[in-house]
Structure 1
Amino acid sequence: MKIVRKLKIIIIFLLLIKIQAQENNIQHFTIDHELSSNVINDISQDKIGYLWIATNNGLLKFDGIKFYEINTLKTNCLTINKNIVYAGLDNGLFVKNNSKELFYDSKKVIKIKVFNNTIIVATEQGIYKLTENYLQPLKINTEIDFSIINDILFTNNFYYVATNKGLWKLNKLNHPNKIDKIITTNISSLIKFNTKIIAASTNDGLYILDKDLKINNIKTSNNSTSVKKIDNEIWLSSSLNGIEIYSLPSFTFKQKINKYNSLKTNAVFTVFNDKQNTKWIASNNGLYQIKKSIQKVYF
């Protein structure tokens, strides 16, 4: 019994050391560090290297030392193209081009994409294209036009549209003549890996689609919010289970980052890898910076 007790103490001690090692590699920013809100929805980076932070209480710019408030508008998502900042709001699109600021009215903006220098806006009700003066609604079909559009991917001359009603393949975003529904469950995020499309669903894990659209399903945590390829890994964020990391190209599970080993929350909305290969985590409990690789801890 004494030996068993000693072994338990040693195991607990080693686990505590590993957890502490992870925490030392992660810096946590909150409203105590001049963040306008602890709810961080998205992160992007401009050509100079400034980070742009989308929060529930506004848009921020971060120079590595100080956060600068751009506005106080609840910001859901970000995209930067040609050093112009596009921020998705609950009621439209905010655009900042140096000192010039513009606003375009629309439904709640979920995601902003750039295809051939055209800004495409995914909203809670259909897809829009940014023109010089307004956001033009694009017409696809009744189901997609009235769906929540979570993400859009363009590859091999086709658009893949992730909605709360499934994943669609289109030859055009406006009046397409080829429309196929590939998956029928809620798809939250899309990325491309080699010739494969990786679709994160909210209830059924990851769907891996090959070039012939044959589907392989990998069971993961539910409530996914985003999927990102970072280095040779897949980082899957969840609103309830933190982050799960999978090795590529095997898609084998590697580790978790969550409140049991690194963070103070399990609600993660996205991750971002900056130009310096520093990882940033957007959560409902502030902004996390991973300074270097953390040790594996499984829970």
Structure 2
Amino acid sequence: MSQQDFNMDFIGIGSGKCGSTWLFENLVQHPEIFDGNPKEIHYFGDLYEQQTFDWYKGLFNGAGDKRKGEFSISYMYHPDAAERIYQHFPDVKIIAMVRDPVARTYSDYQHFIRKGDLPPDYPFSQYIKDEGKLRFGYYTDYLVPFFERFPKENILVLVLEEMQHDLAECYRRIFEFIGVEDISFLPEGVEEKRNQAVNYRFLKLENILVRCYRFMARRGMTGFAERLKRSGVAQMVRRFNAKSEPIPGMDAASKEKLKAIFEDEQLRLANLLGREGQIWTR
């Protein structure tokens, strides 16, 4: 199969900690979408010079006439991803997910602890003093390269807070955007939250799980990693390791500080999307 014979129907570009896992796992339930579509390939990011395009195509063997797509949250932030995707698939549908960057930043902080990159007692107020930790909440900066290359009608930016108000309408809109015939399909368990931060009995065990997946993803072992995830083994381990009490909430001072920092971002994003007013604080 030549590159000209191989096309992707949709590519999710991020952002991380905005519900992309939940969205992807619901999309692949649609009977017209290939349920073997892998998530977190990162090909057009860090793996582009390590793996061939034939390797990328091989990840979608068995798709047949079903819709092919992938989600790699690194694409939004990689400086070359937009151009690389455009060079291969100029007509592909681009899907991005965003959420209130204040909540996204706190979720990212919890994820750093899960990965073992931060000690569990590291203060969130100290974490947000590093401006580099806040940059992923400036969605507009990272979406612009995609809007510069792809037609606006080929880009769908979803706001997590809006999606949660009307899931049926949200998925109807997504399926219509992708181009499947049955746009009224509603995935089973769509209201179940996925990949949420929780308290763990043994944080080191969770560190190992996350680092193993990260190790495999960085070395192009995406297919194996996806099969392992879908086997349910990791979920079983996490259920065993989870505590019943919720994770502690964000302190009020840090929340107010972040709200002030990101105050203009939703207005910039609304302007990029041709919308009026607020977005996640409607």
TM-score (norm 1): 0.25
Name the structure where helix makes up a greater proportion of residues: 2
TM-score, length-scaled by structure 2: 0.26
Query: Structure 1 or 2: larger strand share?
Result: 1
